[in-house]
Amino acid sequence: ATPTALMVGTGRGAQLGILIKGPEVLETTRKVDTIVLDKTGTVTTGKMALLAVHTADGTDESQVLRLAGALEYASEHPIAQAVAAGAAAKVGALPVPEDFANIPGLGVQGVVESHAVLVGREKLLTEWAMELPVELERAKAEAEAAGRTAIAVAWDGEARAVLEVADAVKETSAEAIRRLRALGLKPILLTGDNKAVAESVAAEVGIDEVIAEVMPQDKVDVVKKLQAEGRSVAMVGDGVNDAAALAQADLGLAMGTGTDAAIEAGDLTLVRGDLRAAADAIRLARKTLGTIR
């Protein structure tokens, strides 16, 4: 590859909203045959909304919103922002937590108004030996069947509520998947969210392989496993929890709308957070290198 041709390629990339770390990235971009896509913030907008609150028998809804909202206010996770905003809209000012910790891939824990509060996946409650009562288990199943994410709320050792949150698939995602397939790539959806939600998003955008309920630290192993099968893997992500997988992938594509950690770990940045730019990047790399061989 001649330096001039590569520069033309990367300059065109900038016009398409693709930032390429260095000319050597084009060669890997040309070769990838599999594309692993993070769900939240990559295929979906990541702008979630709190849609419903289901309380356990005898639990006060405004207390659920106050305690859960207060903790989530301290987290940057898209789900947390939806819960905090939804709670504040209903109950007004939220208390300030006396203690707070983020548990990546699971949720948040802390102390609010002297209650030890957990908000997150059912698995977070299970780890603390708590389980959802039947009425909440049912609410959770119904929410997930509808393609929504169900978040559990517990305090003082008891599960108290299930919150329904959902975010929309980006308008550009389905077309992007079609274009990636047309380039011969196999798309795989990878997420920490549960299987039912992941499958509903996958169906909406035309992805038929889903790897769900993956802990943040395990995303990198999914990429390694695909590589061990002989695949050349591109990974697209936006979160701190995607950074290791982006670095491990043969080609890491970061959403420009995502976190700095993802952008630093990636080889390429999709400036506008539009997945179609991933297909543009691969086509551009093939064209640039193809014409100069």
Binding site for ligand ADP (CB under 6 A): 38-40, 72, 75, 77, 79-80, 105-108, 119-121, 149, 151, 191-193, 216, 239, 241
Minimal distance, residue 223 CB to ligand ADP, in Å: 13
Choose, from 38, 242, 267, 274, the residue flagged as catalytic.
Answer: 38
Q: Which stretch binds Mg ion (CB under 5 A): 27-35, 55-63, 165-173, 230-238?
A: 230-238
Minimal distance, residue 27 CB to ligand ADP, in Å: 29
DSSP readout, the chain? Answer: --HHHHHHHHHHHHHTTEEES-TTHHHHHHH--EEEEEIIIIIB----EEEEEEEPTT--HHHHHHHHHHHHTT--SHHHHHHHHHHHHHH-SPPPPSEEEEETTTEEEEEETTEEEEEE-HHHHHHTT----HHHHHHHHHHHHTTPEEEEEEETTEEEEEEEEE-PBPTTHHHHHHHHHHTTPEEEEE-SS-HHHHHHHHHHHT--EEE-S--GGGHHHHHHHHHHTT--EEEEE-SGGGHHHHHHSSEEEEETTS-HHHHHH-SEEETT--THHHHHHHHHHHHHHHTT-
Smaller CB separation from ligand ADP, 206 or 216: 216
Q: How many residues bind Mg ion (CB under 5 A)?
A: 5
75 binds, among ligand ADP, Mg ion, none (CB under 5 to 8 A by kind): ligand ADP
Active site residue 38: yes
Contact with Mg ion (CB under 5 A) among 28, 34, 40, 75 = 40
Minimal distance, residue 227 CB to ligand ADP, in Å: 20
Q: Give residue number: closest CB to ligand ADP.
A: 192
Minimal distance, residue 219 CB to ligand ADP, in Å: 7
Binding interface with Mg ion (CB under 5 A): 38, 40-41, 238-239
Residues with active-site annotation? 38
